[in-house]
Structure 1
Amino acid sequence: MDDERAIEEVLDTIGDEHARRVLAAISREPRSAKDLSEECDLSLPTVYRRIEMLTQYDLVKDQTLVADDGNHYKVYESNFESTVISLEDDEYKVRIYREENLPDRFSQLWDDLNPE
């Protein structure tokens, strides 16, 4: 997939109202699909579709837990700290910052401050 199409699809995903509601809920704490359905007032299939969309761009990660009764279920959580969307030379750029790439963020900031 080319970068321009990928950026457009990420913007479309983030632009989806239901996806934003799911992201907002899981940014506070991990939640199951059932909890998301109730909190966001969305049907369970809608929640699963949005989670699938968000997972496609690595914006959501999941973890399998075991309930007291032995049943397994997944909880979903945000997989990024922040997103910056910029317009440079008539071209959109999307940068997704993740906790694990803080050294990369510092390097990028340093490079931005010290152009050669």
Structure 2
Amino acid sequence: MNDEKSIEEILDTIGDQHARQVLAAISRESQSAKELAEECDMSLPTVYRRIEMLTEYELVTARTLVADDGNHYKVYESNFESTVISLEDDEYKVRIYREENLPDRFSQLWDELNPD
């Protein structure tokens, strides 16, 4: 997210009430769009629009499962641990911390502590 427009767009996305409801629901457990619609009391099209928005910023991932009857369906899950929004040098910065980034963050911290 290097340009301001991307920062504004992600702030708008996570600022959306419906998107936050979807994120909260899938942070507890993976759910299908139908389950999300029921839990969040939203229409299915609203859920799909929010999932599309959140997927654009890699905040949500999808897995395809096979039902007992052989039909395929997707479940959605949160793809991040936390988001930090900061104001540095008169500029907003958005950092999204993902679980898979932990080793990279540790390596970066280690390199910063050992400049040799």
> Do both share a fold (TM > 0.5)?
yes
**Match for residue 12 of structure 2?**
12
**Match for residue 48 of structure 1?**
48
Is residue 23 from structure 1 mapped to residue 23 from structure 2 by the alignment? Answer: yes
Structure 2 stretches lacking a partner, 5+ long = none
In structure 1, what is the Cα distance between the partners aligned to 2:5 and 2:110? 29
TM-aligned CA deviation for residue 110 of structure 1: 5.5
Deviations 1:68-91 (A, max 9, x none): 111110000001111111011211
Judged with a 3 Å threshold, the aligned counterparts in structure 2 of structure 1 residues 94 and 110 are, in CA distance, closer, same or farther, namely farther
**Match for residue 77 of structure 1?**
77
**Matched letter for residue 93 of structure 1:** K
For the 8 Å contact 1:14–1:20, the answer to whether it is kept is yes
Deviations 1:18-69 (A, max 9, x none): 0000000000110000000000000000000000000000100000000011
Is residue 91 from structure 1 mapped to residue 91 from structure 2 by the alignment? Answer: yes
For the 8 Å contact 1:97–1:105, the answer to whether it is kept is no
Structure 1 stretches lacking a partner, 5+ long = none
- Secondary structure in structure 2 of the residue aligned to 1:6: helix
Matched residue count: 115
**Matched letter for residue 42 of structure 2:** L
Judged with a 3 Å threshold, the aligned counterparts in structure 2 of structure 1 residues 30 and 110 are, in CA distance, closer, same or farther, namely same
Bigger CA drift: 51-60 or 81-90? 81-90
TM-score if structure 2 supplies the norm length? Answer: 0.90
In structure 2, what is the Cα distance between the partners aligned to 1:22 and 1:108? 32
CA RMSD of aligned residues (A): 2.0
Judged with a 3 Å threshold, the aligned counterparts in structure 2 of structure 1 residues 18 and 111 are, in CA distance, closer, same or farther, namely farther
Q: Which runs of 4+ in 1 moved over 6 A?
A: 111-114
